[in-house]
Amino acid sequence: MEFTHKYGLLGAGAVAGSLVGRMVAGGVRLGPVAALTYRVASRTVNVLRSGSAVPGVHDLGACGVILFHAPAAQKDALVAALGAGGISWPGRTLILCDCEMDAAGVRHFRRLGAGVASVRSYGMPGSVLLEGAGRGLSAAQQLARTAGLKSIELRAGNATLFKTGVMLSGAAMTPLIDTVASLFRAAGVHKSEAPRLAASLVALTAADYARSGRQSWAWHKRAPEARSLLAEVDAAPPALRQLLRAVLLFGLEVFDKHPDVAGAIRRSLVKSAAAPAQLR
């Protein structure tokens, strides 16, 4: 099927600051650009410096691929406008850019004949997540290549699992790195050097894991000595001791290694939890 334009856009909100803006900057050329009003469409074109504003959603019917971006507050109105735009969907693809559409909406557009996929940024520069199947996924892959972005493909419906992994690698990890820095400061490392040293050691651990996976774990083959580990825990500030016990036990259980050591730490964790707070 031949189309006048490869890419069109239906957008709302800060489109230029979204993944759409990154893709346009990377070389994706837009054709028609629509919004809830022609004024917003014109402003979007001016900010993106790509495409041409059109008065209505129906003008996007000239495009083979329609990019869609909207903040949560405007998403429903834009989805409704897209559904009422009179577009003939067979042969066309709808790509959600840094936003989501509920499962019922996705099924609706697929029933109309559209290929549907999503492209999301996730904090890694130069890389995006793709989710979809068939024609939609193929179009999303081509879009990422055109924009010069590395793509990681997810199985449909599993984006939340990936988001949880990102959360653990970022927001949930930062307090642990800060705890490492606090221990270094308590040991006498200068307050400005402690965070850099903590970050460097964590980065080294991550680099080793990237090369060797689980085998990079210091205790993958040789078991640590439980008494020494618990002595190090007891030397830490009281407020950190339970956390350290839990983290050590977590690692041993996740890797299913050294059950004797895990048992000793588990008993210490239970005993400590039963003790008065001042004795922990």
Averages of pLDDT over runs of 10 residues in the chain (280 residues) are: 87 94 95 96 96 95 96 94 93 95 92 96 93 94 96 89 92 94 96 96 96 95 93 92 94 95 94 68
Whole-number pLDDT of residue 167? 93
Whole-number pLDDT of residue 225? 94
Whole-number pLDDT of residue 277? 57
Whole-number pLDDT of residue 3? 81
Dihedral of the alpha carbons of 68, 125, 153, 72, in degrees to the nearest 10: -30
CATH number 3.40.50.720 is the correct assignment for the domain at 5-157: yes
Domain boundaries, the chain: 5-157, 174-279
Whole-number pLDDT of residue 154? 93
Whole-number pLDDT of residue 18? 93
Kindly give the residue spans of alpha helices, DSSP state H, lying in 112-187. 134-146, 159-169, 174-187
| The token pair that represents 278 in the structure block | 């001042």
Whole-number pLDDT of residue 51? 95
Neighbours of 96 (CB within 10 A): 25
CA nearest neighbour of 155 among 183, 187, 192, 117: 117
Give residues with Cβ within 8 angstroms of 13, minimum separation 6. Answer: 69, 70, 71, 74
Whole-number pLDDT of residue 1? 61
